[in-house]
Amino acid sequence: MFEPQDPNRIQLNSNGQLKHFITTEGLSKALLTEILDTADSFIDMSEQQVKKVPLLRGKTVVNLFFEASTRTLSTFELAAKRLSADVLNLNISTSSTSKGETLKDTLQTLEAMHSDMFVVRHSDSGAQHFIAQHVSPDVAVINAGDGRHAHPTQAMLDMMTIRRHKGAFEPLVVAIVGDILHSRVARSQIHALRTLGAAEVRLIAPKTLLPRHIEMLGVKVYTDMNEGLKDCDVVMMLRLQKERMKSALLPSESEFYRLYGLTEEKLKLAKPDAVVMHPGPINRGVEIESSVADGPRSLILDQVTNGIAVRMAVMSMAMSGQVAEKNNRMEAAQ
């Protein structure tokens, strides 16, 4: 387990620009809004004949996945290629660490290949903080998910999806439903929603799937889904992470679905224009009814589309911040 450090000190350069993207926690509303605005500028690229911009031309992006995730890896790879970067995908769980290499050894090897950006997914909370502290000062680190701690690009693509469909965050009541305890996505969503000014953030889950003292993050907690869904503008469902459950936290999947699965009937409790989201992959009939997931109020496919634009935004901003920091160091040395 790695110990996370102060995110602002690690993530921002001396000009206050993004140079790593480790967590949404501690970042300003202005910076989160800049990420969304930059992503908006990329969103229409998929409709163009040439789906590339030269912002990362000549740069090498290494996707370091110590934990498998086909969806996240593929969107980061596509985002990097649309920025014209060279991309190297490494499944570390089946390569260097199985040969006895330490994390520092792996980083030094990749730095020797003149890599410019590491996109890292790791099962240990705080691993990306550790990497950002120990890599070369010219290498940007992007968090693609660490333990139960954070998944900031997923949170920001969710924020982009909400903003494109609902406009301002200030009037919104947002419910996050399901396996809060094991969800790095939920934590990143909470920090982003609170910073962007959402009127109310609700967590809906059984007591066994709620972290202790989660109310300290400024959220309202409900164990009754019917009560929690009343008059919500946005319903964000979470995947039931059975692989992270070390004990019997639930009586059964069918019981979870009965109490906390999002059905057409339960969705009627939210506002008539409420939208439904899910970070995927979906367990149909466990977290959500298929007719809801595929229905007119579902934004799940929009989230996937927006994920590419947000990851392009974060990667381009972090690289720009790294270049600015390098120029500052060179000027200071003269």
Domains in the chain, CATH or no CATH each: 7-151+305-333 (3.40.50.1370), 152-299 (3.40.50.1370)
CA distance 286 to 245: 16
Residue 121 annotated as part of some ligand binding site: yes
Count H helices, E strands: the chain? 12, 9
Please write the tens of the pLDDT for every residue from 11-35: 999 999 999 999 999 999 999 999 9
Please write the tens of the pLDDT for every residue from 186-238: 999 999 999 999 999 999 999 999 999 999 999 999 999 999 999 999 999 99
pLDDT value, residue 68: 82
Residue 134 annotated as part of some ligand binding site: no
Residue 151 annotated as part of some ligand binding site: yes
Which bin fits 39, alpha (ψ -120 to 50), beta or left (φ > 0)? alpha
Q: Is 49 helix (H, G, I), strand (E, B) or coil?
A: coil
Residue 71 annotated as part of some ligand binding site: yes
Q: Residue 165 class from Cβ within 10 Å (0-12 exposed, 13-18 middle, 19+ buried)?
A: middle
Task: Give percent of the chain above pLDDT 70.
Answer: 92
Name the least confident of 39-48, 55-64, 129-138.
Answer: 39-48
Residue 99 annotated as part of some ligand binding site: yes
Residue 184 annotated as part of some ligand binding site: yes
For tokens 């691993």, the residue is 127
Residue 213 annotated as part of some ligand binding site: no
pLDDT at residue 256 tops 50: yes
Residue 165 annotated as part of some ligand binding site: no
φ/ψ of 61, rounded to 5, equals -105, 125
